[in-house]
Every structure is written in structure tokens, then in C-alpha cells.
Amino acid sequence: MKAFFSTLLFLILSLPVYGGEFPKTLLNLFKGVKTAEITFSQKTFVPVAGNEVTLYRGEIFYKRPLKFLWHYTWGSRMEIVSNGKFLETVFDDGSCQLTPLEGNMSMFPLLLLAESPEEFLKEFKVVSDEKREGVEIVTCVARGKDPFFRKFIFLFKGSRLKGLKAVQSNGTEETFVIERLKLNIPVKDSLFNLKPCKE
């Protein structure tokens, strides 16, 4: 896994300015998709915490419209659930935060892209699209002022999404390796039930 993270870093350096159309790989990634299951590894670099590096593993379950479960299987017990209207974040200590989903989808670029590429383009613009060593690298930056995430970099091998790097405005970098992506599979609605919060 460390070797793959190093390869991702090498591929995304020194990308040229992009002036073309919305890349088809990004546009077609979730076209016709009603459900998805994603298994990933995550490496988080936090410069404001003394360049701390943390590793995680996790899963995402998605069901159109706007339902998803993001939870970690290693490195954290945090869980994020959307029932289509509200977003519940359950932290490691069992406490939780409930917020309306509307206005918060830009925090989850893959899910925003799955719901609507048009809405994704309102939040982010493509600034580069290049192929290197058989890998297509698509870089998107935030359009608005003071965004939580200022940049996303998608890596494709053929039509398959292999990795994603998210850069926050405070310099925190999250690199995801997509280990498995299964589309249009049975997904239980019970996965998206909001749980009672710990007092």
C-alpha cells in the first residue's frame, strides 16, 4: 500500500493547465448507477498537527438518492450516515452531530458526482486532465471562496477509479486508494438509518 501511495504522489506532480471539456471518465464514473459499495485505504497528512500521518481503512455504501454510509473498519470508529435528508456524524467516543444534508454535499465529492455531475461542476472546476504511464489524472479545484476542500485529484486506470486525493484549505491532505468499487448491487435501506446519539 505504501508503494501505491508513493506512485500516486509521483503522478500528480507538475500537471499542466487544462482548457478542455469535462473528462468523460469523470462524467461516466457513476452514470446509470443506483447503488455502490466502495472499499478504500486512506492516508491522512496533517501539517497543523506537526506533520502527523495517519492510516485508515473503510467502506462506503451508497444508494440513490442521497443515501450513504461512510464508516471505518480500521484506524477509527467514526461513521457518517445520510438518510437522504439529514447527515449524522458519529465520533469515536459515541457522541454525534446531526446536520441537514442540503449544503453539505461538497464535503463528499464522489457522492456529489454520483448524484449530479452538473452540481459537482457548480462546486468545482477541472483545471487539468493528463495521462501518465497509463493513468489518467484529473484535477479539480473549488470555485467558491474559503472552501473546506480546495482541490481534488482523481486517478483512473482505463475507466476504473483507482485513487483520489483531497486537499483541505488548512493544508491537510487525504489520499484514498480505491481497493474495490462495486456498482448496482443490492444495498439494504437499514444501513442508512440514523442511530440514537450517546448522551
- Give this prediction's pTM: 0.84
Please check whether residue 107 lies inside any domain of the structure.
yes
Q: From residue 49, how far is each of 72, 139, 145, 171, 175 by CA, in Å?
A: 21, 26, 24, 11, 17
The percentage of the chain sitting over the pLDDT mark of 70, rounded to a whole number, equals: 88
pLDDT for 109 equals: 83
At 48-102, the pLDDT tens digits run 777 788 999 999 999 999 999 999 999 999 999 999 999 999 999 889 999 998 8
Confirm if 84 and 101 have CB atoms less than 8 A apart.
yes
**CATH code, domain with 125:** 2.50.20.10
Please check whether residue 110 lies inside any domain of the structure.
yes
Confirm if 153 and 137 have CB atoms less than 8 A apart.
yes
Q: How confident is the model at residue 16 (pLDDT cuts 50, 70, 90)?
A: very low
Backbone phi, psi, residue 82, to 5°: -120, 130
Please check whether residue 39 lies inside any domain of the structure.
yes
Cis preceding linkage at 65, omega within 30: yes
The percentage of the chain sitting over the pLDDT mark of 90, rounded to a whole number, equals: 59
Q: Which domain holds residue 89?
A: 2-12+22-186
Alpha-carbon gap, residue 7 to 53, rounded angstroms = 17
* pLDDT, average across residues 114-141: 91
Q: How confident is the model at residue 112 (pLDDT cuts 50, 70, 90)?
A: confident
Alpha-carbon gap, residue 54 to 114, rounded angstroms = 27
pLDDT for 108 equals: 86
pLDDT for 117 equals: 86
- The number of distinct structural domains making up the chain is 1
Alpha-carbon gap, residue 94 to 74, rounded angstroms = 16
Please check whether residue 195 lies inside any domain of the structure.
no
Alpha-carbon gap, residue 194 to 89, rounded angstroms = 9
Most confident of the ranges 10-24, 61-75, 119-133: 61-75
